[in-house]
Chain A
Amino acid sequence: MTPPKRPLAASPQGGNASGPAEPDPRRLLGPARSVVLGVAACVVLAVVGWFVPKWLTFLVTMAAANGLVSLGIVGLMRGGVVPFGQGMVMAVGGYAAALLFNKLGITDALGLALCGGVAATLIAAPFAPLLSRYRGIFFAMLTLALSMVTYGLLMKLEVLGGSDGFNLGRPTLLGFALPQERVGYVMYLLTVVLATVMALLARVYFDSTRGLVTLAVRENELRVEYLGGSVRQAMTINFILAAFCGGLGGALVVMSLGHVEPNFSFWTTSGEFVFVAILAGWQSVAAVFVASTVLEVVRSFSSAYFPNTWQLALGLFLLFVIRFLPKGIGSLWMRGPTR
């Protein structure tokens, strides 16, 4: 039985019938604006990188590659969990690229980077359904445990170089050999381009229906399930995507360093990625790379001028950010509660 129609009552909270609000045009223009800004930043970095000293391009290369690992953490943070073991996927990506280079003779930097991402995804995927059941400290500790198991294995396996790891040679790119004096810039360029592509893809994902549901999971899992959404599916997907980002970043780091070692999977390395993710906040993808660059700069200069106390400077900086920018440095330019 349908109740008799009544005239539309006034809202008990004093609402009016003024009609729906106009959608914010900035939000509707969001994707196009992100692409333009991303491409522009990429072009500027490519041009500037040609002129700046090699140490600076190397620093930005490391920042962008490590930022990719932290980007995956930010994706998980949007769902309300923080992994303390992303060093594992970084190490898997790095070792996969290095092994493919040394054992199978695959030298293409782009191919190796993608293979690193895929390898990390394949290793992480079986654990994703298990991890999707856990939250808070349990999730963090489980991921930490996985990374430390990986670290232990890498340390013991002599075929993988044991505690010293092993070196790899100069990569090629799209069939072209890279001269020694240009390999640094080309790796810088490749890393910046891949970081831009991944950042844009992450922005699209964060703004998608799945991305919004991830934010909802962070806030209220119960309601997501009662609306017909799957919390575990969201968490599983985010973990797998984070693994790909981590593996990609790991492969790029290894190719730029020319060396891979078990320390990539050590818990302090994972801690640095979490540091960057917290510094960046979960609202902006660009902030991840800014935060990663900040870490590299502080690390480089502090270790040069205050070799024994650079962690102190880093800690004070993090305290400052948490106190004055609790949503991270991304909140400086990202407005609105959900962006």
Chain B
Amino acid sequence: MSYLLEAKGLEKRFGAVVAASDINISVRAGERVSLIGSNGAGKTTFVNMVTGYLKPSAGSIMLDGQDITALQPRAITRLGVARSFQIPQLYGDLTVLDNMLVANACHDQKLSFWQPARRPEAIARAELLLQRFGLSEHIARRVAELPGGVRKLLDIAMALTGHPKLLLLDEPTSGVSAEEKFPMMATIMDALGHEVNTTVLFVEHDMDIVERHASRVIAFYAGRVIADDLPAVALATDDVRRYVTGELLAE
């Protein structure tokens, strides 16, 4: 069985602190995997290692059979891995359209000294994605003026510009009010529905969202994987109920 993403024996230490230990995760193409766990459990550390922001202290990461463990973020992105951020990483002084055009230009890898960034076909591509994310009305606004939820969606739309093989979403609904979370996640998943070749890993704290949108759940605790199964099964394990959802502690 070949996997799109295969992490073997991943470990990350910051001095005496072990942020990730013996992480073994394999993801097949097309899966929608949710990474859950309390704060400091190792979810974002895992995402950061896969995307090259952090180098593992031990272990390896393979993407489509290619070792990407030591590659820089840019090289990993060019192999088809994209990510969004817990705190959206945008260009605040540029418009929404220009943010998308930057993403477009970077993904195209055909940077030109004379080809206009704002050429009609690039604008059309950006508009299509923005429409899928319900952001059309914001197209001409400066990003610094946008509300948090819109920034989150734009952050993900930019990551999706290059039609990645693997998309990692770091807490896509964090910082959004409870009533906005569900429609926002639905918008994201609807937009991702157009990307049939994109496998998605998303970090999430809301178990209702996890149950609704994930085909598989990987639970982290203290830098280790404590469950990896279908959502209904993983969320019912004692370890997850004790260390992630806190149900057993409450009982």
- Which residues of B are interface residues toward A (Cβ below 8 A)? 30-32, 51, 72-74, 77-78, 82-83, 89-95, 98, 101-103, 105-118, 120, 123-124, 127-128, 130-131, 133-140, 142, 147, 149-150, 153, 158-159, 161-162, 176, 180-181, 183-184, 186-187, 189-190, 192-193, 196, 213, 215
Decide yes or no whether A227 CB sits under 8 A from chain B: yes
- Give a binary string over A2-34; 1 marks a CB under 8 Å from any B CB, 0 the rest: 110110111111011111110110011011000
| Complex alpha-carbon distance, A246 and B162, angstroms | 37
A223-B91 in contact (CB<8A): yes
**Nearest CB of A to B95, in Å:** 6
Decide yes or no whether A183 CB sits under 8 A from chain B: no
A contact residues, total (Cβ < 8 Å): 49
In the complex, chain A residues 197-253 whose Cβ is within 8 Å of any chain B Cβ: 204-205, 207-213, 215-216, 219-220, 222-230
Among the listed B110, B135, B142, B189, which residue makes an inter-chain contact with A11, where contact means beta carbons less than 8 Å apart?
A: B135
Decide yes or no whether A136 CB sits under 8 A from chain B: no
**Nearest CB of B to A230, in Å:** 6
What residue of chain A has the Cβ atom nearest to residue B101's Cβ? A212
A209-B89 in contact (CB<8A): no
Sample of 9 further A-B pairs with CB below 8 A, known A209-B115, A212-B105, A227-B106: A6-B186, A9-B186, A20-B139, A23-B123, A207-B116, A209-B105, A212-B117, A219-B90, A229-B105
B127-A21 in contact (CB<8A): yes
Question: Could you tell me the dominant secondary structure of chain A's interface residues?
Answer: loop
Among the listed B31, B102, B114, B134, which residue makes an inter-chain contact with A15, where contact means beta carbons less than 8 Å apart?
A: B134
Chain A contacts for B196, CB-based, 8 A: 2
Chain A contacts for B213, CB-based, 8 A: 3
Contacts A8-B190, A227-B103 given; indicate if A3 touches B32 (C-beta within 8 A). Answer: yes
Decide yes or no whether A159 CB sits under 8 A from chain B: no
B139-A208 in contact (CB<8A): no
B30-A229 in contact (CB<8A): no
Contacts A216-B91, A223-B90 given; indicate if A208 touches B116 (C-beta within 8 A). Answer: yes
Chain A contacts for B124, CB-based, 8 A: 20
- Which 7 residue pairs spanning A and B have beta carbons closest together? A11-B134, A20-B127, A229-B106, A227-B106, A212-B117, A15-B134, A209-B105
B136-A13 in contact (CB<8A): no
Decide yes or no whether A1 CB sits under 8 A from chain B: yes
Among the listed B74, B92, B109, B186, which residue makes an inter-chain contact with A225, where contact means beta carbons less than 8 Å apart?
A: B74
Contacts A20-B127, A27-B118 given; indicate if A338 touches B94 (C-beta within 8 A). Answer: yes
Interface CB pairs A-B, < 8 A, 12 = A5-B190, A5-B193, A9-B183, A11-B150, A12-B187, A209-B108, A216-B102, A216-B106, A227-B107, A228-B77, A229-B111, A338-B98
